[in-house]
Structure 1
Amino acid sequence: MIVQALALGLGLASLSATAMAAPAAVPGGSYVITDVTVIPLDTDEVLRHRTVLIRDGKIARIAAQGARTRVEGATVVDGTGKFLIPGFVDAHVHIATEGAIRDSKDPAMAALELGRDHAYDRQVMLSFLKAGVTGAANLGGSAGSDEDLLWLRGQIDQGRIDGPRLYVGKRINGPRAAVAIKPESTPSASRPEAPYTAADGIAAVRRARERGYDFIKPYQFLNRETYQAVVEESRRQGFITTGHLPELGCASCADRAFAFAHPMTNIAHSEELARFARIGSDLSPNDIPALAQAVDDSGVSVTPTLITLKTIVGMYVQREVPSVPGDWIKLVDPVTRLDWTPPANRYLSQAFRDQEGADTFSAGYDFARVLTRELYKRGVRLTVGTDAALPGLAFGVSVQQEMIELREVGLSSLDVLRAASINAHRLFDPDAGSGAVREGERANLVLLDADPLADIQNVSKIAGVFTQGRWLPMAEIDRRLGEGQAFERGLGEQIERLKGARHSAH
């Protein structure tokens, strides 16, 4: 619904009967959200009965009840009884893309016919938006997947494809044989693709800068020298680093001291710290407060990924992939579903069917919950990440699941929302404002039908999202996802034919 010469004020509510069904506007459009409760998240305040003007992709004004401003050609969105919050950011995903499919080690999978309009990628992006996720950080993938994501990032930023703001990370990892505990397996040569020297580690970071990546993910199979070089060069290049603590090859406090002396910006899993607590007899669960204090002193933030551990434990115990909430399983595409079944799903393979493995992950999950609570008490900045699309974790909705996990371990609802939005925004996009619902900030927002402060599960009750300043009501998102179902059915039929041909060949 387009309203000319629109006056902001109490009278706007009556104009919005059809506003919620408005299609997404082209970049540069203007929107007015009337009589909405604003939860900015950069403070504890809640602003009731506000009128919010969004123009040219940014929040132009937040007006109190009774204020009047004239806006030409604005789309009106009725905010009565609704709550406006910053959009969610998944700080740890591995996004399925057409590039990843083309890079598959399975020749049949790589040969899937995907069409030319990026229908597969568009469906994945819409799944994020359906859950209110307006930002997603990809922590490394294949070369083809990364190329696809860098292209998608540009398309989304230019308004040509609707999706979350993508932060594309470059994974830098040494060869598995470079783990210091097995020096006899050390390769004879290092290279930037799998660095084993400081020089090659530095070269890898510089290549990532040239290619336009957003951040660096150090992986655990870097030796001391290379890990330190990667972290320090990333800092010089203006990259943040988020990833795995290095497997330094011995179980001593000295290793922990080294990792904290050369810290990444963010630790991508709380179980990384749980692993530190288990590798030696010198540290027990009773020492969790000291470990949390060491993390706080180092200045790093942490992505707990509790739902990730919980899901892995569920696969060990139930011997099946845990159910996806509600109807979200319908949005899990055929390629991802194939990855969720053996042999691709290693958690359900024969090698993982031992009780010791189940006990280890169960203990790690319990440890991570206690540690996350302790980190929170000490004021360590936490971010929401899920490792989707790990088996059982669907893109988008997994963020809502992690938010519930964090609420259950003791975070306040406000701080859960912060972890799921502005904390991650400030981590990956520190030069782009606070990420809060404030004038001048980018309009990446979620409009909820119920109060998330009263019940964190209300984050699933989404009326619509603003992504890059474009309004997408839930009805429009669902319509587009429905249109894409035909493509996904065709993809599923291709996979079944390939499986049948493979079976016949044997």
Structure 2
Amino acid sequence: MIAYLLALTLGAAQPSQASQTGATAAVPTQAAGAWLVSDVTVIPADTDEVLPHRSVLIRDGRIVRILAPGAKAKVRGATVIDGRGKYLVPGFVDAHVHIATEGAIRDSKNPAIAALELGQAHEYDRQVMLAFLKAGVTGAANLGGGARSDEDLLWLREEIAAGRIAGPQLYVGKRINGPRAAVAPQPAAAVPASKPDAPTTAADGAAAVRQARERGYDFIKPYQFLNRQTYRAVVEEARRQGMITTGHLPELGCASCADRDFAFAHPMDNIAHSEELTRFARIGSDLSPRDLEALADAVAERKIAVTPTLVTLKTIVGMYVQRAVPPVPGDWAMRVDPVTRLDWTPPANRYLSQAFRDQDGADTFSAGYDFARVLTRQLWKRGVPLTVGTDASLPGLVFGVSVQQEMIELREIGLRPIEVLRAASINAHRLFDPQAGSGAVREGGRANLVLLDADPLADIHNVAKIAGVFAQGRWLPMAEIDRRLEAGRAFEQGLSRQIQAHPADH
């Protein structure tokens, strides 16, 4: 009953930003204050321990005290949240996502989409951010987008940190790629000339990293079409600038491409897909166990972390086999906004195209998914740090809930539930923000937390049973998140009407 009354009180404390326009954009969602989660089971996640009947004091965005059972503390001014029968865990992090923003809409190659009237209150962005929080995702690493999309995200990152928009802590990556070369031997002169956004020389690659650093990006995403010298320069300059690298392994098979040995001699901090390793295993082989062992050993020896994105591969296989976008879990289908839904349908959805089905090796997609699952298990057994990433909003993968789907994928290949929680939180914090603490539920840590109604260690599916979240130290009960999402439905319906008014343009 206490929790219900608190939810009503907190929900009434601020008007829904999603339903406001113009001047309300500067109003904080809720000022960072003080809360006491009483009599809750704490799962810190940085160890295997479970701490029952604790009371957790949160103030000004930090976990101030974790009180032992029966201990008393001065909590004057703190709002009490009833934690009986509930579980407090670190907030989840999507370590590989491509966030849809208003900037991405304006970047769209579809003129009808680019011309959508979005208003001035960033309502589209607010809805996307709330979807993450609804799934317990309090951190998200964006692995590259267009120029306007990146600018939008850099702005959103600061708005969220200041409490003016409710959302996950954002880590914004700069993708650095080269022009695609023919995957066949060719003279160096045949490589396309360098462009600012597609460097082909070491000097230009290093300069691109420095520019990203100056602009305020959090990390670098090297992409696979960088040639050998530029790839090395990007990785090494990022290290000099104190920026982590997570991305694709370089392309193989052309005169200016890297080879397997080169890629592991100049390693990134994190490989963004297990599929990248599967691609390396395909060169001159048929995904043999020998390749699997060699790749797992190389990753472990170089201390590279991996974001498997198994649910991404599974979804792509599903589209290839079923010729349709896989169903979205539960009631999350209603959270797919009309612009994203359009991107999921032909002709925008390339995974449903005949050209996709006709490409070489398409009939081995299922084998590639199986190989990636076994490879990920081998990485885990070797102690390689795994993180949870989704590649949303790839067709079929919704922002937020896709993190829960990937957590289930990791559980199914053998990780214990506590290890899945660690991959979804601790490991991501260590990768993207190592100077800011571990991300565990520990005194002094940031209050990015999820309050669950059931034990995730008994069944990992319980990560979907969310009572509320602390995002940037601010408490949002699920009832309030749902209310704000519902308040934004009118805006999304307006987008649908705009899209339906120009069907020929799609």
* Fold shared by both chains (TM-score > 0.5): yes
Tell me whether 121-130 or 191-200 shows the greater mean CA deviation. 191-200
2:218 counterpart letter in structure 1: D
Please give the alpha-carbon distance, in whole angstroms, between the structure 2 residues aligned to 1:28 and 1:393: 32
Please give the alpha-carbon distance, in whole angstroms, between the structure 2 residues aligned to 1:287 and 1:264: 20
Please give the alpha-carbon distance, in whole angstroms, between the structure 2 residues aligned to 1:31 and 1:130: 20
Provide the residue aligned with 1:154 in structure 2.
158
Deviations 1:309-336 (A, max 9, x none): 0000000000000000000010000000
Provide the residue aligned with 2:177 in structure 1.
173
1:172-321 correspondence to structure 2 within 5 Å: 172-177=176-181, 181-183=185-187, 186-187=190-191, 189-249=193-253, 255-281=259-285, 284-321=288-325
TM-score by length of structure 2 reads 0.93
In the TM superposition, what is the alpha-carbon distance from 1:188 to its structure 2 partner?
5.1
1:323-472 correspondence to structure 2 within 5 Å: 323-354=327-358, 357-472=361-476
Q: Is the CA contact 1:178–1:222 (under 8 Å) kept in the aligned structure 2?
A: no
Q: Is the CA contact 1:27–1:57 (under 8 Å) kept in the aligned structure 2?
A: no
Tell me whether 15-24 or 344-353 shows the greater mean CA deviation. 15-24
TM-score by length of structure 1 reads 0.93
In the TM superposition, what is the alpha-carbon distance from 1:69 to its structure 2 partner?
0.8
Q: Secondary structure at the match of 2:210?
A: helix
Q: Secondary structure at the match of 1:18?
A: helix
In the TM superposition, what is the alpha-carbon distance from 1:177 to its structure 2 partner?
2.8
Deviations 1:437-495 (A, max 9, x none): 00000000000000000000000000000000000000000000000011001101100
1:395 counterpart letter in structure 2: F
Say yes or no: does 1:51 pair with 2:59: no
Q: Describe the shift of the 1:132–1:497 C-alpha distance in structure 2 as closer, same or farther (beyond 3 A).
A: same
Q: Secondary structure at the match of 1:353?
A: helix
Q: Is the CA contact 1:31–1:75 (under 8 Å) kept in the aligned structure 2?
A: yes
Q: Secondary structure at the match of 2:488?
A: helix
Deviations 1:251-270 (A, max 9, x none): 9x982111111000000000
Provide the residue aligned with 1:10 in structure 2.
none
In the TM superposition, what is the alpha-carbon distance from 1:360 to its structure 2 partner?
2.1
Please give the alpha-carbon distance, in whole angstroms, between the structure 1 residues aligned to 2:105 and 2:2: 47
Q: Is the CA contact 2:235–2:245 (under 8 Å) kept in the aligned structure 1?
A: yes
Please give the alpha-carbon distance, in whole angstroms, between the structure 1 residues aligned to 2:40 and 2:307: 31
Q: Describe the shift of the 1:226–1:466 C-alpha distance in structure 2 as closer, same or farther (beyond 3 A).
A: same
Q: Secondary structure at the match of 1:493?
A: helix
Q: Is the CA contact 1:445–1:467 (under 8 Å) kept in the aligned structure 2?
A: yes
In the TM superposition, what is the alpha-carbon distance from 1:498 to its structure 2 partner?
1.6
Q: Secondary structure at the match of 2:462?
A: helix
In the TM superposition, what is the alpha-carbon distance from 1:20 to its structure 2 partner?
3.4
State the identity %. Answer: 77
Q: Indicate which of 31, 35, 50 corresponds to 2:35.
A: 31
Please give the alpha-carbon distance, in whole angstroms, between the structure 1 residues aligned to 2:258 and 2:217: 32
In the TM superposition, what is the alpha-carbon distance from 1:379 to its structure 2 partner?
0.3
Provide the residue aligned with 1:477 in structure 2.
481
Please give the alpha-carbon distance, in whole angstroms, between the structure 2 residues aligned to 1:42 and 1:151: 31
1:177 counterpart letter in structure 2: A
Tell me whether 113-122 or 282-291 shows the greater mean CA deviation. 282-291
Q: Describe the shift of the 1:492–1:357 C-alpha distance in structure 2 as closer, same or farther (beyond 3 A).
A: farther
Q: Indicate which of 71, 75, 91 corresponds to 1:71.
A: 75
User: Alignment length, in residue pairs?
Assistant: 488
Please give the alpha-carbon distance, in whole angstroms, between the structure 2 residues aligned to 1:74 and 1:178: 62
**In angstroms, what is the RMSD of aligned CA positions?**
1.9
Runs of 4+ aligned structure 1 residues displaced above 6 Å come to none
Q: Secondary structure at the match of 1:91?
A: strand
